Structure 1
Amino acid sequence: MLNALWTPTTVGDISLPHRLVMAPMTRDRSTPEGVPTELNAEYYAQRASHALIITEGTQPSSDGQGYLLTPGIHNDEQIAGWRKVTDAVHEADGRIVIQLMHTGRISHPDNTPHGRRPVAPSAIRPKGTMFTASGPQEMPTPRALSTQEVAATVDDFRRAAAAAVAAGADGVEIHAANGYLVHQFLSDNTNQRTDRYGGSLDNRIRFAVEVAAAVADEIGADRTGLRISPGNPYNDIAESDTAELYPALLRALSPLGLAYLHILHAGDEELLGTLRALWPTTLILNRGGADLPTRAKDIDHGTADLVSVGALALANPDLVERLRSDAPLNTPDPATFYGGGAAGYTDYPTYTV
């Protein structure tokens, strides 16, 4: 039933041995300075048998940090830390792309190196709290980026993409999902700008397209992916025009020839079919809690070219080997998902007969 998962393919210029991808997952285990460590390298190398590893969200600038202990890719120390990770994955015969994630308004000054207010398309405070070193705190009202600062933020993504490749990554994924900065520009409840980046659909998709174009220009479209989550209300997103927004976005992105589109699916099958028909290159699909036979059928039916899994990959470093031998799976431990050390990170057992 899972045979479709094990056929080789290519994504951009990356040759993959099969079609089971490790999804990006925030784990909050970098240094306070955003530098990946030997422990991070061990974690990713353990999971190198996945067709492709998409890393945890990685801030492209100091303003892009939202959470404690997340990695960055905007200075020399961070590049050196990521080099340890990519070298370890490649030595284990794996492939890895670094996800570029600017959290925008989903942040708190206490979690950043400079203590400044978060930035966003518009000065609209998100509902909810942010965990900080002193406990949960309400997220503040962000500062709206000026038109000039939006262009500077596009350049931050460009530089971060170049840094990721310098660190040995096989490519990057732009995080345009889950209520973070690029998604905030897309959604009309978080973007109430009156300049060229707000109002109409064409204006609201402009930032995402400019970021993708800048990254593709810097490192090559065949090493650039982008993730979206149509209709996902996470992080206080409320899209009023999902069915029109995402087809418009894909039509604008298609000429760039990006290596892949990664969709976190929220359940609208009609929209998913529309997006599949519009997208000209590889589509990676994440159906959340769906079982693996269901995910494999998406490949069989042409709905997706690859499928990504999160918690299953987290709890089973040897997931590919377990699935191929029909071995039992480890159960993820949510208490150790975020922060801490090796427990619940690198100590999940591999399967032995």
Structure 2
Amino acid sequence: MKTTFAENESLILIVDDEEFIRMQLRLALKREGYQIAEAQNGREALSLCEQLHPDIILLDAIMPDMDGFECCTRLQSLECNQDIPVLMITGLDDQVSVDRAFEVGAIDFVTKPIHWPVLRQRVKRLISQSQLQKLLESANQELQRLVRVDQLTQVANRRRFEEYLDQEWQRMLREQLPISVIIGDVDFFKLYNDTYGHQVGDRCLQQVAQAIKNTIKRPADLVARYGGEEFAVILPHTDIEGAMILAQIICSVVRKLAIPHSNSPVSSYVTISTGVATLIPTLSSNSQELVGMADRALYQAKTAGRDRAQFI
């Protein structure tokens, strides 16, 4: 095994059991400016792929122990390697071998003896396609993030809240476990905006959102901006006692931000009221019932004086 590559250049993994072939490929491709890693068998190639994530793999079809066809099949089964293009190099040019190469996941093939201008162009094309695919995937991931995130507060938006609640409701239905929702509303936020202006109001919402987000510790829990000055938390596998404790902590951490609110009737600082509800899903119930219960509990918290947690 030989590895020589730099961070900012395309990396090609050459897999061939013949040292002379690897040397020829290495010298030819390094002249084109590529960085090279080498493996002398399929098992070594699988290990290197997981470590290095090359931009393209040049894979010999006929090797002892694990041939290129089996190696390519195994590469496709590894999630981290599924998108790496494989160019099969084979001494076989019969229809069965060519069909098999494509069936196991190879993107293209060249035959031995290698015609170097053809190999150079195919490598260049496949790397270009691979880089374009990565850019498209990255752009798509960012788009997916944007449509699920509230741009002001950088927590989940209402759309993501609804999607995730339905997803976790179904999961808790299957497992017959409780799911809780907390809905919080910043107290007298209209008065806050009227007093300090909308820009300061936006900063207030950002601080409150991050305070709530930092309170949530489990990966399965979700914080969302429910709308305006309202925030919501989804708590799968959480009973009413656990949800109430968390709601009380949220009230406390918002209070401790000590954001001045000179015109608030309940405090000289920004506070939040929270409503809590818990259900074990059944076939005759739905997630919106849970939201409705939390919303009614929030109304009760406001009626009782705000800056508190209330449950139904």
Which of 1 and 2 has higher RCO (CA within 8 Å, sep 6+)? Answer: 1
Higher Cα Rg, which structure: 2
TM-score (norm 1): 0.19
Higher helix share: 2
